[in-house]
């Protein structure tokens, strides 16, 4: 039964990829946007969770604004899924051409100043983050992406295969994929080899692997290992966020300058918490600019502090 289900998913992905490859790109995106709006209109799964998360994080907005942002969330997700299918097919190059990159000078300068050229690049599930990874690899940057495996193995394999195609363009560099779990040593090796390690630090972490820092005014357990490792190795920490521009057809990837973090985060937990809070604040600021493009489906505040747990900002 499990094998049959996996086979059905793989056939389904192949079929949808074929359809997306035959349609003009703008037509595919328009169909996806219509599907996203319909999903919200009929109250599809997870729509209520998104509204509740928006109301919790952005209480200053009205219910009608929460409803509008909920539509934007599902439209962006639907269009992002279509773009992942397009990245598998013949229109891949055309889609990558639609991504404008600004701030490359920040990455080049930080690369030159880093001990081995390695960088820790913090991003979030904002816009189409998989497209951003593919674009950076196509530009010739040696990228290592730290990812969380999906529960559905067939989908996880499909996404792994998609990332494996990143960098196959002329002048591009293949992407190294590092699975969460025992990622510390592979990340350290990647940084020592001068690679640009992409980490998504906008998801809930277990108490054992994170620290509590403010996120939209509430304590959120956030993975601290990447920031501690960067401090230990003297590696610059940059941010990079991709946004879908008005109309949904083009994207803008913005790479920021290195964050001004305190020294000593490798062996001082209070300093580490402050630095993780600084990184998380940058993520929150990016989300506040375009809240309809973040995945509010995720239970970001699932791990709650216990009495006596240090919480940055208390």
Distance CA 229, CA 266 (A): 7
Kind and range of the H or E element at 57? Answer: helix 47-57
Give 184's pLDDT tier (boundaries 50, 70, 90): confident
The model's pLDDT over 86-118, given as tens digits with 9 standing for 90+, comes to 988 889 999 999 999 999 999 999 999 998 999
Give 12's pLDDT tier (boundaries 50, 70, 90): low
Region of poorest pLDDT, from 15-19, 110-114, 242-246: 15-19
Q: Mean pLDDT in the chain?
A: 91
Long-range contacts of 63-69 (CB under 8 A, 24+ apart): 67/40, 68/292, 69/291, 69/292
Kind and range of the H or E element at 125? Answer: none
If you average pLDDT over residues 154-179, what whole number do you get?
84
């Amino acid at each position: 039964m499990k094998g049959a289900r996996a086979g059905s998913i793989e056939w389904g992905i192949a079929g949808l990829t074929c359809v997306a490859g035959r349609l003009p790109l703008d037509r595919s995106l328009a169909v996806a946007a219509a599907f996203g709006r319909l999903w919200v209109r009929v109250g599809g799964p997870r729509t209520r969770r998104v509204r509740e998360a928006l109301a919790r994080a952005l209480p200053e907005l009205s219910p009608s604004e929460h409803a509008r942002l909920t539509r934007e969330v599902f439209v962006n997700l639907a269009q992002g899924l279509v773009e992942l299918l397009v990245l598998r097919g013949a229109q891949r190059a055309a889609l990558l051409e639609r991504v404008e990159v600004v701030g490359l000078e920040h990455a080049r300068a930080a690369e030159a100043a880093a001990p081995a050229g390695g960088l820790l690049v913090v991003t979030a599930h904002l816009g189409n983050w998989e497209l951003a990874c593919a674009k950076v690899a196509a530009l010739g940057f040696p990228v290592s992406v730290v990812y969380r495996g999906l529960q559905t193995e067939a989908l996880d394999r499909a996404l792994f295969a998609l990332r494996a195609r990143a960098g196959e363009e002329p002048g591009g560099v293949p992407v190294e994929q590092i699975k969460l779990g025992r990622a510390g040593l592979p990340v350290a090796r990647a940084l020592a080899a001068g690679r640009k390690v992409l980490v998504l630090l906008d998801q809930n972490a277990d108490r054992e692997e994170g620290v509590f820092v403010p996120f939209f005014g509430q304590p959120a357990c956030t993975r601290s290992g990447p920031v501690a490792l960067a401090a230990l190795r003297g590696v610059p920490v940059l941010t990079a966020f991709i946004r879908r521009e008005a109309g949904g057809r083009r994207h803008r990837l913005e790479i920021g300058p290195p964050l001004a973090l305190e020294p000593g985060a490798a062996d001082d937990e209070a300093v580490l918490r402050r630095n993780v809070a600084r990184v998380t604040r940058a993520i929150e600021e990016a989300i506040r600019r375009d809240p309809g493009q973040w995945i509010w489906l995720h239970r970001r505040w699932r791990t709650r502090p216990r009495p006596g747990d240090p919480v940055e900002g208390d």
